[in-house]
Amino acid sequence: MIENFSERLAIWQNQYGRHELPWQRQGAYATWVSEIMLQQTQVQVVIPYFQKFMKAFPTISDLANASLDSVLAHWAGLGYYSRARNLHKAAKTIVSDHHCEIPKDLGLLIQLPGIGRSTAGAILSLGFGLRGVIQDGNVRRVLSRLFCIHGDLSKATAQKILWELADQLTPNSGPAARIHTQAMMDLGSLVCRRSKPSCRRCPFADDCQANQRGEVSLFPRPKRVKQRPDETWVVLQLENERDETLFLQRPLEGIWGGLYAPHIGSSLSKIGEQLKTVDVLEAEYQGELTHAFSHLKVHLEHYKLKVHSQDIAGIGVWQPIGRFQKGVPAPINTLLNG
Ligand code: SF4
């Protein structure tokens, strides 16, 4: 084990770490929201969303009592919407089962939707100042280099080693663990970056096994990049006599679950099978864009069709684009405003 690791890390964090992030020292609720937003999303992207979200839902009860539509509207653009749905669901559980208090217990925290062991560790340490152990992407990368951990880090064998190391390195006292957690995140994102780590600025340059062997670029082993399949989706914007657009809520499960968008299908004629009262083939092409999901690349083709609202009975919400307040996926927003 590396001598005085947490003490040296804390000294480094005090001098070089991040101390001004808007969720720091704001309590467990702010920590939780930020941790969920930061999954798969960079800090600079998250900051404005976090601020807007906390203004709209300043407490857990505000979040629990809000409609899912409103929560998704504040999430629109961040992607990975199951995170928002789980956050909302977990807030309801905290209100109903835990008297509006986020549990201070690892076992109870990981029972809440969307909270895994690392997020729970972050809530305990950063949110409550208790001992909590984390193992997010930053920590995994740092540990894999410091200790030359080979293989696929997502596999059970590597996971076990990583959790043991993370646990051994985390100080026992709550206040020290809080600093340690932030410091590990900072070291990973500011110095031991995925590409071009700044080993010369690293407080552990002499202890790091990968650095000492000149093998930093070998750790962690790069994930095998799967070829993403391509699909074409047609977005048919129906516009009525008052220049309002028809928005439909998407099924809760699946891509953009719970958000609102015009009709989407694999072709105009497929959409036409649902819309028998209008001739979709008269729709006019407006433009297109490509959007990459983690598992899929989609070419979105945008068409617009002028209709009479009485021809499209009983479904969705008619609204002018600029006035629609519910959550719309960011690429759809770009198309509609393009
Ligand atoms: S020496 Fe380099 S590779 Fe090792 S922990 Fe520090 S920044 Fe990361």
Residue percentage of the chain with pLDDT more than 90: 86
In a domain, 25, yes or no: yes
Chain segment 140-166, per-residue pLDDT in tens: 999 999 999 998 998 899 999 999 999
For residue 315, pLDDT beyond 90: no
Chain segment 206-239, per-residue pLDDT in tens: 999 999 999 999 999 887 777 788 999 999 999 9
Q: What per-residue string of b and e applies to 120-146 under the rule 16 or more CB within 10 Å gives b?
A: bbbbbbbbbbbbbbbbbbbbbbbbbbb
Chain segment 297-313, per-residue pLDDT in tens: 999 999 999 999 888 87
CATH of the domain at 288: 3.90.79.10
Confidence of residue 203 (pLDDT cuts 50, 70, 90): very high
Same-domain check for residues 202 and 300: no
Ligand 1 in contact with 300 (CB < 6 A)? no
Same-domain check for residues 172 and 237: no
In a domain, 65, yes or no: yes
Confidence of residue 276 (pLDDT cuts 50, 70, 90): confident
- pLDDT for res 219: 95
H or E segment to which residue 230 belongs: strand 230-239
More confident residue, 229 or 95: 95
Is residue 241 packed enough to be buried (19+ CB in 10 Å), middle (13-18) or exposed (0-12)?
exposed
Mean pLDDT of the chain: 94
For residue 336, pLDDT beyond 90: yes
The neighbouring-strand residues paired with 291 are: 298
Task: Quote the pTM value.
Answer: 0.87
Domain boundary among 195, 218, 241: 218
Is residue 117 packed enough to be buried (19+ CB in 10 Å), middle (13-18) or exposed (0-12)?
middle
- Roughly how many angstroms between the first and final C-alpha of the chain, as a whole number? 56
Q: In terms of residue numbers, what domain contains 144?
A: 5-218
Ligand 1 in contact with 139 (CB < 6 A)? no
Alpha helical stretches, state H, the chain:
5-16, 28-38, 43-56, 60-65, 68-75, 82-97, 106-109, 117-122, 128, 137-146, 156-169, 174-186, 209-212, 268-274, 330-336
The domain total for the chain is 2
In a domain, 300, yes or no: yes
Same-domain check for residues 91 and 172: yes
Among 146, 186, 213, which is best to mutate for testing ligand 1, by the most ligand atoms less than 8 A from CB?
146
- pLDDT for res 227: 79
Same-domain check for residues 157 and 16: yes
Chain segment 175-186, per-residue pLDDT in tens: 999 999 999 999
Same-domain check for residues 117 and 262: no
- pLDDT for res 277: 85
- pLDDT for res 229: 87
Ligand 1 in contact with 187 (CB < 6 A)? no
Residue 37 CA, ligand 1 centroid: distance in Å: 26
Closest Cα partner for 283 from 259, 303, 253?
A: 303
Among 148, 198, 216, 219, which is best to mutate for testing ligand 1, by the most ligand atoms less than 8 A from CB?
216
Ligand 1 in contact with 199 (CB < 6 A)? yes
Domain boundary among 163, 193, 218: 218
Same-domain check for residues 277 and 329: yes
Identify the residue whose C-alpha is closest to ligand 1 atom 4. 208
Same-domain check for residues 194 and 278: no
Closest Cα partner for 234 from 288, 273, 276, 182?
A: 288
Residue 3 CA, ligand 1 centroid: distance in Å: 16
Contacts of 26 (CB under 8 A, 6+ apart): none
Ligand 1 in contact with 140 (CB < 6 A)? no
Residue 127 CA, ligand 1 centroid: distance in Å: 27
Query: What Cα–Cα distance (Å) separates residue 45 from each residue in 38, 138, 221, 317?
Result: 9, 17, 27, 30
Confidence of residue 274 (pLDDT cuts 50, 70, 90): confident
Ligand 1 in contact with 145 (CB < 6 A)? yes
Residue 173 CA, ligand 1 centroid: distance in Å: 26
Strands 317-319 and 263-265: unpaired
| Cα 2 to Cα 302: distance, rounded to the nearest angstrom | 57
Cβ-contact 222, 290 below 8 angstroms: no
| Cα 119 to Cα 110: distance, rounded to the nearest angstrom | 8
Range of lowest pLDDT (32-46, 89-103, 166-180, 281-295): 281-295
Ligand 1 in contact with 13 (CB < 6 A)? no
In ligand 1, the atom with minimum distance to the C-alpha of 202 is 6
In ligand 1, the atom with minimum distance to the C-alpha of 191 is 7
| Cα 327 to Cα 262: distance, rounded to the nearest angstrom | 12
In ligand 1, the atom with minimum distance to the C-alpha of 205 is 1
Rg (CA), the chain: 24
Chain segment 125-143, per-residue pLDDT in tens: 999 999 999 999 999 999 9
For residue 17, pLDDT beyond 90: yes
CATH of the domain at 51: 1.10.340.30
Domain boundary among 218, 252, 286: 218
Ligand 1 in contact with 184 (CB < 6 A)? no
Chain segment 111-123, per-residue pLDDT in tens: 999 999 999 999 9
Same-domain check for residues 203 and 239: no
Question: Torsion angle, CA of 310/315/318/322, rounded to 10 degrees?
Answer: -150
Residue 196 CA, ligand 1 centroid: distance in Å: 10
Peptide bond into 262 cis (omega under 30): no
Same-domain check for residues 31 and 116: yes
For residue 69, pLDDT beyond 90: yes
